Structure formats: structure tokens, C-alpha cells
Structure 1
Amino acid sequence: SSVRLVDLESRAAIGNIGATGDDRTFQLNGISDGNYEISAIGSGGPNTDLAISSARRITIKGSDVTGIDLALAPLALITGRVNLEPDPKLNCGKHRDTALRETLISVRLDRVEEKPEGKNSRDKSAPATESASFLPALSDAAPNDKGEINWRNLASGRYRFEARLPGFGWYVRAIGFGSANQKPSARAAEANIARDGITLKSADKISGVTVTITEGGASLRGRLAIAEGQQVPPGIRVYLAPLEREASENVLRFFEARAESDGTFTVANIAPGRYWIMARPFDENDPTKLKSIRQDSGFRAQVLHEAESLKKEISFKPCERTADYDLKFAPAVPSKQ
């Protein structure tokens, strides 16, 4: 096992030392006054399960800090499968035998903003409340030839799923527990993984996650139409929101893309259907800038409301490629608070 000390202000690693002996004691010397985060990780290697401690906040101010206990706990595991649904009537997915191996599914840890410490707090060693910060926030995995997939060594927290598909002709139809074509179980009915992600604790072993990828994905290439002589403002994004009311809660029917400086944009892997389309400036003072439209329910509702008010409709058939689309950029109607 090894112990790591990180400066909370700079996030720089100050020290890293092995915990030796049967009692796994450790000692870090020559540490300056300041606020730090200390954590431990158990030994391991590729494709092995790791164990870590929760990160502990400590303050050094003119004296030693002793008696720190870092309890190791196994990391979490998610297992599941990826189902590819080719359509014999279509060929935009190319039907390659390597399609599964070309698919990459990621789980990304939601970063929670740190709460400021209380003014009257004098604890030199604060309670352990979060996982060690040296673990990656993103874990990638590819399914095997049977479609089986797993994400190992995940720290505690909420994870959201992202997919890199094997080509333009596919789209993500469903993310949940069990097959998308079967009646959902009680667990599947209660959980909305695509919208809410999965919350993990130490040693959790979550199984049965299924990502369903279907042939027939559409794509859109276009350009923002602005008045002659004007330039595209920075921070413009193009949004697609489902026109059908019954799809308004399906986050997999919402899409966004950044407009380039010349006004061009591309949206790929679109589920067939009818959409509202709009271009919208990304408010740099808005905290939602750190989240996608699929992850922030308030922002998603705001975009849907604005898109409905503009009433600019676009539809996509399976495998349709729409190019040279002109999208007029106009201010949206502000949402009523």
C-alpha cells in the first residue's frame, strides 16, 4: 500500500510513501503548514481490483498531525453488455464484424463542488468524505465479442454513461437494466440510468446494465445564417430537442453541438424522429456550462421551452444525411422563472 499527500490549493502531490510493516504505518516528514488531502491505495495492477481509502482533509499549523487512520475499501464495479441492433433493411451501419470492438462506452464521474469549511472549524483532521482524487474521473471500456463489458476500480460517486459509436449510422436507443425489448423489471422501472446515471459506494458490484445501440442513426451538417457583415459570436451551440411530447423525458433524444468560428456545425448519431432545432449562446456566467444538456434537467427544460417557442422543426428518417442546412440564429424567448 502507498500513501499520497496532495496540496489542496495547488492540487500538486507533495509526498508519496509506502505503508510498511505488518501494521502498515507511515510517516511523511518536512511538510510545510497548509491544507492537504491524504489518502491511501492498495497494491494492484491492470485488470485487478484495487482498494483505496477515502480522502481525508488535514491542516498543518506549526505542529505534527498524528493518529491518522486510512481504512482501505474495495473499489466499485459495473458489469453489463452492449447490444448492437442491425437492421437488414438498412446498410448505414455497414454491418462490420468489428462493430462491437469499435464501440467504446465510458462512465464519467460527476464532480461535486467543494463546500467551504466552517469559519469555526479547528479540526486538524477533517472527516473523510470523498474518494481519493488521484483516481481518473473517466473510465473507458470496449465490449468483447459477446457484447460483455465491465468498468472496474470505480471510486464512490455518481457516474454517467457516454458512448463512442462504431460509425455515423448508429445511435444509442436505450441505457438501462435489462434488454430494451423486454418488459422492464422493478429495478429497471425505478432507475433511469440514461438520465440520472448510477450512484456507487465502495465495494458496490452493479450488474445487468445494458446499452442498446441501433442501426439507423442520422446526421446533420449545417451553418448558422447571420446578417451579412456580422460574425458568429463565440460560444454558440446548436441544440436538438424532441418535438414529440412523449419523448420529452428521454435524454437520449436531446443533442447538442458547438458551432465553429465560421458558423458550421455537425450533429451525428441522431435517433430518427422529429425535433425542434435552435442555436443558443452559451452563457459563460451560467454554471450549466460545465454540464451537457443530457445531464442537467433544469437546463434541458429551459432549452426545450425556448426551442418550442421558436417553432423551428426538423425531422430525420433512419440513416438520413442532411447537409448544407442553414439555421437562422435568432435570440430565443427567455424562459419564465
Structure 2
Amino acid sequence: MEPKNQTSVSEFLLLGLTDDPAQQPLVFSLFLTMYLVTVLGNLFIVLAVSSDSHLHTPMYFFLCNLSLNDICLSTCTVPKMLVNIQTQDQSITYTGCISQVFSVLVFAYLENYLLAVMGYDRYVAICHPLKYTVIMKPHFCILLALVSLLLSTVVALMHSLMLLRLSFCTHLEIPHFFCELAQVLELACSDTLLDNVLVYVAMFILGGVPLSGIIFSYVHIVFSVLRMTSSKGIYKAFSTCGSHLSVVSLFYGTGMGVYISSAVTDSPRTTAVASVMYSVVPPMLNPFIYSLRNRDMKGAVRRLITAITSFL
């Protein structure tokens, strides 16, 4: 039977990561654990930075923003998946699906911009240390964070509004654990050319520009480090950049992995599994990367743990 256009859609079905009912408890336990680790780990970073006056610097201000963003990014997708598994109900309302597309795009783009801003902060700190306090003033840091949020919201809103104009077929199954923009577009019965053009333009321009900025920053950082004669200065430069570079590699590496997997395989379920690597794994690992690789964060975390245990 041919699917027919349906302009009024009440709900979609999220098929999740597996069809096997026996594997659902394992998937539920795994994602619940990952979500709790993500939320608690990133909250710990925020509390550690907020409670330590030595960390009230631009670098850690942006780290707090990144941690809050990671919590929001995971919260957009994982809780709904857990509820669906627990209730054995795969449905998500049309409004809920569009809202999820919007939310995921906002926080994914914001992650992209925040990483670029953090790269710029490291560039100024290492290449122009004498001008650092002049350039990275508190109001300028707040402005960078707000502009990043504004750009992310505008782009996500454009994608969401373009989705609202589409009509959908009666086949409304999404082979994913959340409403991903590309998967929702594939269900549309109407022409999605403009939507796809917007996706690629946003990907290459609004996604590529921040990545280019990060590369530009680190090229200059490397040249500045090579000109240093003090081994202590070189160690300090790499120690402050190592955590950020690891997070950047994780975020863009997993995103590229998802793109490659979707290009080489025709299985939507395989792509859904790969999407876990950019939507769930980086937010979970970022707190560990910063707390384990950064000496100042180690000290702040230890002091916070000591304060919590003494209070209890």
C-alpha cells in the first residue's frame, strides 16, 4: 500500500538501538549509568570551579558553560529513551519530536562554538600573555558565550521552522533513539531540497568556521611553543591546552565517525548506534578529561570532595 501524504501528524515512533526485547534491560541500564555519570560529573566540574576562587578565570568560565551544555545535550535525548524502554512505548509526539530536534541542534552547535571560544582563549593566553587580561575581560567572555548561544538558537530555529512546513507520510518510524534531523527529513513526503541545502550550508559554514578557528589557534600556539626556551613554559602551555585538545578531538572525531558510518552503510540502526558516540559519549567523558589532565582542576576537585565529606 502506497504511503499517502499526511499534513497532520500526531506522533512518531522511535525504534531505538535494538529490536530484541531481551537486550532492552541492558540498554536501559547502560544508558541510565552513562546519563547519571554525565550529569554528576559535569555538575561536579561546575561546583568545583564555582567554589574555588583560583579558578575564576576565563578558561574555567567557558569550561563551566561547556559542562552545563553537556548536561543539556544529554538531557535532550537520553531521558526520553529511558522512559520509552521502561514503558515499552516507542512513541513521541509530533511536537515533542520537533522540540527534540531543536534542542539537540541548539546544544550541539553551542558545543561547537564553545570549543572554538575556548581555543581562542588558549591562543590569547599563550601567544599574547601580556595582553590576556586586557583582551579576555569578564564582560567580553560573557558576550562570547551569549553570542554563541544566540547563533546556535537561530540556526536550530531555522532548521525547526523548515521542518514545520513539511508533510509526512503514514510511515513514521524513526530508526534512532532520538529525533535526529536527518532521520526526520527522510520521513517527509514533500520536497526536502531546501532543508537538505540548509543542513549542508550550516554544516560547512557554521560548523566549519569554528573548527577552522580552532585549527588556526593551535597552529599559532604550536609556533609560539616552539619559540619558547623554558621547559617549564612549554610544559605549562601543553598542560593548559592538552585537556581542550582532547575534548576537541573527541567531539569532532566522533562526529566524523558518525558521518563516515552513515556514508558507508545502508543500515539506519548502525548509524543510530554510531550516533551514541557524539551525542552521549563526549558529554560523559569531558569531565574526566579535564579533571584528570588538568592540575588545577585536580586540586579543586580534591578540595570539593574534602568539603563534601567533612560536611556529611
Name the structure with the higher strand share. Answer: 1
Same fold (TM over 0.5): no
Q: TM-score, normalised by structure 1?
A: 0.23
Q: TM-score, normalised by structure 2?
A: 0.24
Name the structure with the higher helix share. Answer: 2
Structure whose CA Rg is larger:
1
Higher relative contact order (CA 8 A, sep 6+): 2
